[in-house]
């Protein structure tokens, strides 16, 4: 890539336009140099798509909570962009155990100490989990 | 500011001790160019793809080749011990490189803040209230982060797990044999890239991905297929790679190596690597068109597969011919 071919496409999502990145490109003599770039539409597209997916999954989870199938833990997991594997590592459980805790029925019987571990992981209080309201929850 | 976090962090640490170092040299001596595609390790349901060697190896390889003394530590799950070690070093005025989970780095633009645990940064001090002073190689300017957030980033979970990993320089020799280190770096990278016998690492992994990508339309839902492809683009272009999945950065290294070693033939390899970087950019461009159109008739998954096979052939030929150059 030549220096004059380095894309300068601004990305207007989630403060992306606050940062530039370094791209290596060759100048008119064919020598390597660095160019500060606002970004490339191709990467913006892929990143926005990943955020759209996260947004969609969060909405699906909120739907599940409203229907009474899923527990608030499912929301906080998705809000923190985790999957059950990552969350399990945080709270010191197996993935299948965390998966069960995401069900409203199982969640209802969880002891305070387990909820506290989740709360610590998500940087919130147990009350935030217990009093969770899907209709006022923050989106991505 | 640098393109890539680990080679950038390494460069920053070395410059602190007066070692003349550039990011391309750090990347090349550290044998950073690689490819891996591991279909069975998934993060958020998407298979892992990487264009560089395993986190930490660039720093280690470079230190060993230049005979610079360093310490690299991990702390398992002992977060208190990890914090104590960092604070003591900073209080002695020693800048410290760290591996961290980008999700918890509050000073980053939100756009980047996914659960991605292979980000390197340098802490160079600590304020009275405990706030860390950070030089993040991929961002302009200097930054600050609260100690709680730094802890979360250092002990993020997932793949890989930083486990509080930190690294710092403990002694720099009077004389540095840069030429020898460059030669070693090139040889090591050739070996690293060409030798892995299984199809998830090195050159063979490109062909594995090429075969897999062909099956996406049949084996995955439209939504999944597009996410898989999008993730490859992000690993190649969004995560600081200097463009073209580190290929331009490596080409810049080969150019510097040609001058330092007085081997003009390496300049030709630099130009060829640039052309390969351009091929990767074309691949990303075409892949993005598929993502955009969802069901695309403009570019097919077969076309993407062909492009990858071609890149795989060209890279292997380059490295095999580089092996024959008497450096």
Cβ within 8 Å, pair B158-A45: no
Please name which of B247, B261, B270 lies closest in space to residue B322, comparing C-alpha atoms. Answer: B270
Predicted pLDDT at B42: 83
Q: Are B29 and B185 in contact (CB under 8 A)?
A: yes
Residue of B nearest to A25 (CA): B248
The CATH number given to A51-130 is 1.10.260.40
Architecture of domain B178-324: Up-down Bundle (1.20)
Helical ranges in chain B per DSSP H: 5-16, 23-29, 57-65, 79-91, 147-154, 178-194, 203-219, 222-233, 247-261, 265-293, 301-324
Confidence class for position B240, pLDDT limits 50, 70, 90: confident
pTM score of the predicted model: 0.94
Structure tokens at B196: 């892995």
pLDDT in tens, B275-325: 999 999 999 999 999 988 866 555 799 999 999 999 999 999 999 999 999
Residue of B nearest to A22 (CA): B3
Nearest by CB to B237, from A25, A34, A43: name it: A43
**Which residues of chain B have a CB within 8 Å of the CB of A13?**
111
What is the rounded average pLDDT for all residues in chain B? 95
Position A64 pLDDT exceeds 80 = yes
Handedness of CA B220, B223, B227, B229 (dihedral sign): positive
User: Per-domain residue ranges for chain B?
Assistant: 5-171, 178-324
Distance CA B3, CA B251 (A): 14
Predicted pLDDT at B313: 98
Predicted pLDDT at B160: 86
Position A4 pLDDT exceeds 90 = yes
- CA B68-B246-B48 angle, to 5 degrees, is 100
Q: Rounded to 5 degrees, what are φ and ψ at B299?
A: -125, 135
User: Per-domain residue ranges for chain A?
Assistant: 3-39, 51-130
**Which residues of chain A have a CB within 8 Å of the CB of B230?**
45-46, 49-50
**Which residues of chain A have a CB within 8 Å of the CB of B240?**
21-22
Pairing between strand B33-43 and B166-171? unpaired
Interface residue B56 vs chain A (CB under 8 A): no
Distance CA B88, CA A63 (A): 48
- Give B148 to chain A, closest Cα distance, Å: 10
pLDDT in tens, B10-45: 999 999 999 999 999 999 999 999 999 999 888 778
Fold exhibited by the domain B5-171:
Cathepsin B; Chain A (3.90.70)
Checking ipTM against 0.90, whether it exceeds it is yes
pLDDT in tens, A79-136: 999 999 999 999 999 999 999 999 999 999 999 999 999 999 999 999 999 999 999 9
Predicted pLDDT at B295: 61
Nearest by CB to B157, from A19, A81, A86: name it: A86
Predicted pLDDT at A50: 94
Position B157 pLDDT exceeds 80 = yes
Nearest by CB to B242, from A15, A22, A53: name it: A22
Position B273 pLDDT exceeds 60 = yes
Confidence class for position B110, pLDDT limits 50, 70, 90: very high
Distance CA A127, CA A135 (A): 17
Nearest by CB to A16, from B111, B231, B255: name it: B111
Predicted pLDDT at B159: 81
A-B CB pairs within 8 A amount to 127
Question: Other CB atoms closer than 10 Å to residue A85's CB: what's the count?
Answer: 17
Predicted pLDDT at B298: 58
Predicted pLDDT at B294: 63
């Amino acid at each position: 890539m030549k220096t004059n071919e380095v894309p300068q496409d601004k990305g207007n999502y989630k403060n992306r336009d606050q940062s530039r990145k370094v791209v290596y490109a060759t100048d008119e003599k064919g020598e390597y140099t660095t160019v500060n770039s606002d970004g490339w539409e191709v990467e913006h597209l892929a990143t926005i798509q990943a955020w759209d997916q996260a947004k969609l999954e969060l909405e699906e989870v909120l739907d599940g909570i409203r229907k009474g199938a899923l527990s608030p833990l499912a929301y906080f997991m998705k809000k923190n962009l985790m999957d059950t594997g990552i969350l399990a590592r945080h709270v010191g459980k197996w993935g299948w155990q965390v998966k069960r805790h995401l069900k409203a029925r199982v969640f209802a019987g969880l002891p305070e100490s387990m909820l506290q571990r989740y709360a610590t992981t998500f940087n919130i209080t147990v009350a935030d989990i217990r009093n969770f309201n899907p209709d006022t929850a923050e989106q991505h | 500011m640098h393109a890539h976090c680990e080679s950038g962090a390494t460069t920053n640490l070395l410059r602190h001790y007066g070692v003349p170092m550039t990011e391309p040299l750090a990347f090349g001596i550290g044998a950073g160019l690689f490819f891996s595609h591991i279909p069975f390790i998934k993060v958020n349901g998407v298979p892992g793809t990487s264009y560089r060697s395993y986190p930490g190896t660039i720093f280690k390889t470079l230190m060993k080749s230049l005979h610079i003394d360093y310490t690299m530590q991990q702390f398992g799950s002992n977060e208190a011990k990890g914090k104590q070690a960092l604070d003591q070093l900073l209080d002695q005025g020693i800048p410290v490189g760290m591996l961290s989970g980008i999700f918890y780095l509050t000073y980053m633009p939100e756009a980047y803040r996914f659960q991605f645990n292979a980000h390197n940064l340098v802490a160079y001090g600590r304020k009275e209230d405990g706030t860390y002073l950070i030089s993040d190689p991929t961002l302009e300017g200097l930054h600050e982060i609260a100690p709680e957030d730094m802890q979360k980033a250092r002990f993020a979970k997932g793949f890989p797990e930083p486990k509080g990993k930190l690294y710092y320089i403990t002694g720099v020799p009077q004389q540095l044999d840069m030429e020898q280190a460059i030669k070693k770096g090139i040889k090591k990278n050739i070996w690293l890239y060409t030798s892995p016998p299984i199809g998830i690492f090195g050159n063979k992994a490109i062909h594995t991905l090429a075969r897999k990508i062909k099956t996406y339309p049949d084996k995955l839902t439209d939504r999944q297929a597009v996410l898989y492809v999008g993730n490859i683009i992000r690993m190649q272009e969004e995560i600081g790679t200097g463009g073209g999945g580190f290929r331009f950065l490596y080409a810049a290294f080969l150019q510097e190596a040609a001058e330092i070693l007085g081997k003009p033939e390496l300049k030709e390899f630099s130009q060829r690597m640039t052309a390969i970087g351009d091929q990767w950019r074309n691949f990303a461009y075409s892949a993005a068109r598929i993502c955009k159109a969802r069901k695309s008739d403009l570019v097919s998954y077969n076309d993407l597969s062909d492009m990858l096979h071609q890149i795989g052939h060209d890279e292997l030929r380059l490295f095999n011919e580089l092996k024959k150059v008497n450096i």
